[in-house]
Amino acid sequence: QVPLQGSGPGLVKPSETLSLTCIVSGGSMNSVYWSWIRQPPGKELQWIAYIDNRGSITYNPSLKSRVTISVDTSKNQFSLTLSSVTAADTAVYYCARDPGAPVHAVDIWGQGTMVTVSS
Amino acid sequence: EIVLTQSPVTLSLSPGERATLSCRASQSVSSYLAWYQQKPGQAPRILIFDASNRATGIPARFSGSGSGTDFTLTISGLEPQDSAVYYCQHRSNWPPVSTFGPGTKVDIK
């Protein structure tokens, strides 16, 4: 197992930038995809972005203009920033691991970080 | 952009019965379809990957089938702890892009 521990502020003001970090405990960060996924209260899951250890990134087109994802393998962590937040960005943010082929799915999820956007 | 549709929205069944959940894709996703179980206050848990492969530790009463645009998750012999929301997900092979379905809530009466 490769436990994931997400962290970040629980409250962000509208128009500001949300920043989250996920620590990968144990195991290698190589040859897998690291991902951020969010879930507004009472709603469905929404994929945000993938990054691999080489820094290759794919974004959800609906969020791409506001999202930055990065990886630091020396610190065993990856991060998410979401700019110009609004109340619609209020959600539980999950960091997650997708091991790549042949799984093509998330096999490990972090515990989730609740982020509220409010003044 | 691929859109996933799940039906029914809610399923209410008794212990021991069989649940049949559907996930339909707006275009072919080959077999790149996964199923997750999410209980209140918890992160999702993977059940099935690549349409029909059970993830490690998942009981045999969970099974997946389908390819192309139509997929099914079957839960045989429902148990009370199977009460949850079930999501399907497509993750394309390359470049990796993902989308989730809206979920099916399963209530065990």
Determine the Cα–Cα distance for residues B63 and B84; give it in Å rounded to an integer: 16
B53 interaction partners in chain A (CB closer than 8 Å): 102
Kindly tell me if the per-residue pLDDT of A103 is higher than 90. no
Between A96-110, B34-48, B75-89, the lowest mean confidence (pLDDT) is in: A96-110
Planar angle of CA B32, B2, A4, nearest 5 degrees: 60
- Tell me the nearest-neighbour CA distance from B51 into chain A, angstroms: 10
- Strand ranges (E), A1-119: 4-7, 11-12, 18-24, 33-39, 46-52, 57-59, 67-72, 77-82, 91-98, 108-109, 113-117
What is the structure's pLDDT at A55?
Answer: 87
pLDDT of residue B103: 98
**pLDDT reported for residue A1:** 58
B97 to chain A: closest CA residue:
A58
Q: Which stretches of chain B are assigned E, i.e. beta strand?
A: 4-7, 10-13, 19-25, 33-38, 45-49, 53-54, 62-67, 70-75, 84-91, 98-100, 104-108
- Between strands A57-59 and A46-52, the pairing is antiparallel
Whether A27 has a pLDDT exceeding 90, the answer reads no
Prior bond to A99 cis, omega within 30?
A: no
Task: Kindly state the tokens that stand for A87.
Answer: 């109340």
Given CB atoms, is A34 within the 8 Å cutoff of chain B?
no
Q: Which residues from chain A sit within 8 angstroms of residue B46, using beta carbons? A: 105-107
User: In this predicted structure, what is the pLDDT of residue B38?
Assistant: 98
Residue A54 confidence (pLDDT) above 90: no
What are the tokens at B54?
């059970």
Closest CA to B64 of B53, B55, B56: B53
Token duo for residue B105: 């809530």
The alpha-carbon gap from B89 to the nearest alpha carbon of chain A, in Å, equals 8
Spatial contact of A108 and A96, defined as CB atoms under 8 Å apart: yes
- Which amino acid, one-letter code, is at A70? S
How confident is the prediction for chain B on average, in pLDDT?
97
Nearest residue to B83 (alpha-carbon basis) of B28, B35, B19, B33: B19
